[in-house]
């Protein structure tokens, strides 16, 4: 028992999404993709409109997949070995 790790409940509700901070920073220059540049706020607004299955975004450092005019995300609950590329705010609905 001395080597057992302690576990705690996560302080958020919903599915965790890891989003690349570097991708979001690059999109700030493009007005049309401003919703993806502020991905965490976009997801919070989306959760308000769709409270049945909330999402929680955690911004992380670069994931080494740098798409043009898109952001890279990872959904560890679904497939921790695959990365997803979101090119528009409508793609957020496909994460569900």
CB 65 within 8 A of CB 25: no
* Residue ranges covered by each domain of the chain: 20-95
How far, in whole angstroms, is CA 2 from its chain's centroid? 36
The model's pLDDT over 5-44, given as tens digits with 9 standing for 90+, comes to 999 998 888 899 999 999 999 888 887 788 888 899 999 9
Residues found in the chain: 96
Residue 1's pLDDT band (cuts 50, 70, 90): low
Residue 57's pLDDT band (cuts 50, 70, 90): very high
Rounded-to-integer distance, Cα 46 and Cα 8, Å: 27
**Mean predicted confidence (pLDDT) in 76-87:** 91
Rounded-to-integer distance, Cα 17 and Cα 74, Å: 6
Task: Tell me the pTM.
Answer: 0.84
């Amino acid at each position: 028992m001395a080597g057992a790790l302690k576990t705690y409940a996560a302080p958020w509700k919903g599915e965790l999404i890891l989003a690349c901070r570097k991708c979001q920073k690059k999109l700030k220059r493009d007005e049309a993709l401003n919703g993806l540049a502020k991905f965490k706020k976009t997801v919070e607004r989306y959760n308000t409109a769709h409270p049945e299955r909330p999402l929680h975004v955690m911004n992380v450092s670069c994931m080494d997949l740098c798409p043009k005019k898109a952001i890279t995300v990872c959904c560890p609950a679904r497939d921790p070995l695959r990365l997803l590329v979101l090119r528009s705010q409508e793609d957020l609905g496909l994460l569900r």
